[in-house]
Structure 1
Amino acid sequence: MIEVNELTKRYGGRTAVDRLSFSVRPGQVTGFLGPNGAGKTTTLRLILGLDAPTGGTATVGGVPFRTHTRGLRHVGALIDAGQVHGGRTASAHLSALAHSNGISPCRVDEVLYEVGLADAASRRIGGFSLGMKQRLGIATALLGDPPVLMFDEPVNGMDPEGVLWMRRLFRRLATEGRTVFLSSHLMSEMENTADQLVVIGQGRLIAAESVESFAARSTRFSVVVGTPQAAELAAVLTTAGAAVEPEGSSGAEKLAVTGLAADRIGALAFESRIQINELTTRTASLEEAFMELTTGSVEYQAGQPR
């Protein structure tokens, strides 16, 4: 379990992480979201003891990570896949880490096979593609068979097969009872992979809740209405202040309505003696909710006037 309490990090006059508190529990995949510059990587580095906090605490299993003498047995992490010695082979890189952490040499071959790099074990890392380096970084995280795993943007450079493999891996690790903390800017992956979310902006906590609860906080929703009297209903709903558009391109008589809730649409249709065959509320996607709820926390906005 990861616990962050009032964690703060300042660089001169800039506050990168501002009194941040949250928990990441075992048995589930927790997504870590935030706009660019929100402080996600800094927070991960603080948890791992790679940077010292200005204030507050971050613990893994109840103690600071730095207190673990053989860290890979307690936490596996992928922060920057490029931070490896390009002149070493994949096998030599993992063997050195295994030796320094008291891990059996047999584990090296196991994790290389696990991530699909068994045939590249004797190749020098400098010739690896970004996707291969990401796989090697995941192999490093898995090397000590740790109960806690942290990944920062792990799908960068991965092809569709690799993304699907990672998704299944993260789910399996959580099912095994491990704590899985996953940072990514790909909303579709978070929607398909994560159970819980920690969302930050400008170093501050915005939300710590389930994916479904976060998406439900968005004010953006629409109602799909099926009716054989589409034109008549559209006129009624428009008069009531709703925005109405045809739903889909199949020719079916369906409308997408925003600005009115489903019960109000049903009542208006009943009053106007208009037949309704379908009335379905469609909530915002994770991406839509994220964009809406983090608008005020975006540090770098393109196209904004100076």
Structure 2
Amino acid sequence: MIELRSLTRRYGRTTAVDDLTLTVRPGHVTGFLGPNGAGKSTTLRMLLGLTAPTSGTATIGGVRFRDLPRGLRHAGALLDAGDVHGGRSARAHLAALARSNGMGRHRVDEVLGQVGLDDAADRRVGRFSLGMRQRLGIAAALLGDPPVLLFDEPFNGLDPEGVRWLREVFRRLAAEGRTLFVSSHLMGEMEHCADHLVVIGRGRLIADESLAGFAARAGRAEVVVRTPEPASLTTALTAAGATVRPDPDGALAVLGVTAERIGDLALGLRIPLHQLTTRTASLEEAFMELTAADVEYATRESR
């Protein structure tokens, strides 16, 4: 379990992380989201003891990471796939980590197999593609078979097969009861693999809730209607106080009235309906709406 209590980090007059308090629990894939400059990477670095907090605490299993003996047995992390000596082979890199954490070389071979790098194990990392470096970073995170795992942008550079593989890895690890804290800008991937979200903006907590609950908070639920008489139904719905927008595929997107009310109106006017479904906001739509005030660099169109 990960616990942050009043965690704060200031750089001069700039506050990167502002009084952040939250708990990341085992058995879930918790997505860690926020606009650029929100403080996500700084938070992860404080969890791993790479950056000292100005105040507050960041603990893993109730202990600061820097105080854990053989830390990779307690928490594994991928923060920067490029942070590896390019002259070493993948096997040598992992072997050094294993030795310093009291693990045998057999574990190196196991994780190389798990991430699909068996055939590239003795190649120099400097010749690896970004996707291969990502796989090596994931192998390093898994090396100690830890109960807690932290990932920063783990999908970068992976091809579609690799993305699908990593989603399955995350789900399996969560099902085993591990704690997964995953930061990513790829909303589609978070929507597919996360079941809980922590969202921050300008270093402050915006949301700590289920993915479904976060999307529902955006207030963008609408009813999708398909009918052979769209003009007549639009007139009736507008008169009832609804807002109606034609979708590119010919359906009507309706805000302001329930699906039940639309069904009753259509029945009373003898307008046939071919589809009547409620559509909630996507994760990307909810994220853009709920973090709009916390974007550090906004274009004129997004203001």
TM-score range, shorter chain: over 0.9
Q: Partner of 1:166 in structure 2?
A: 166
1:300 maps to which of 261, 286, 297 = 297
Cα offset for 1:3?
A: 0.6
1:283 maps to which of 265, 280, 283 = 280
Cα offset for 1:302?
A: 2.6
Cα offset for 1:304?
A: 7.0
- What RMSD over aligned residues (CA atoms) do the two structures have, in Å? 1.9
Does residue 258 of the first structure (1) align with residue 252 of the second (2)?
no
Cα offset for 1:131?
A: 0.8
Give the TM-score normalised by the residue count of structure 2: 0.95
Cα offset for 1:229?
A: 3.4
Cα offset for 1:176?
A: 1.0
Q: Partner of 1:187 in structure 2?
A: 187
Report the secondary structure of 1:88's partner residue.
coil
Percent sequence identity is: 68
Q: Partner of 1:109 in structure 2?
A: 109
Cα offset for 1:269?
A: 3.3
Measured against aligned partners, the alpha-carbon deviations of 1:211-269 in whole angstroms (never above 9, x if no partner) come to 000001012122012444332111111334433344563x7xx4222333324434443
Report the secondary structure of 1:113's partner residue.
helix
Give the TM-score normalised by the residue count of structure 1: 0.94
**Distance of 1:54 and 1:246 partners within structure 2:** 52
* Structure 1: gaps spanning 5 or more residues: none
Report the secondary structure of 2:146's partner residue.
coil
Cα offset for 1:275?
A: 4.3
Cα offset for 1:273?
A: 4.7
Measured against aligned partners, the alpha-carbon deviations of 1:41-82 in whole angstroms (never above 9, x if no partner) come to 000001111111011111101111111120100000000111
Aligned AA (1:261): T
Map 1:229-248 onto structure 2 (within 5 A). 229-247=229-247
Q: Partner of 2:100 in structure 1?
A: 100
**Distance of 1:303 and 1:174 partners within structure 2:** 40
Measured against aligned partners, the alpha-carbon deviations of 1:169-212 in whole angstroms (never above 9, x if no partner) come to 11111111111110000111011000100000000000000000
Relative distance call for 1:238 and 1:201 in structure 2 (3 A) is: same
Does residue 206 of the first structure (1) align with residue 206 of the second (2)?
yes
Map 1:15-164 onto structure 2 (within 5 A). 15-164=15-164
**Distance of 2:159 and 2:112 partners within structure 1:** 18
**Distance of 1:266 and 1:276 partners within structure 2:** 8
**Distance of 1:129 and 1:228 partners within structure 2:** 52
* Structure 2: gaps spanning 5 or more residues: none
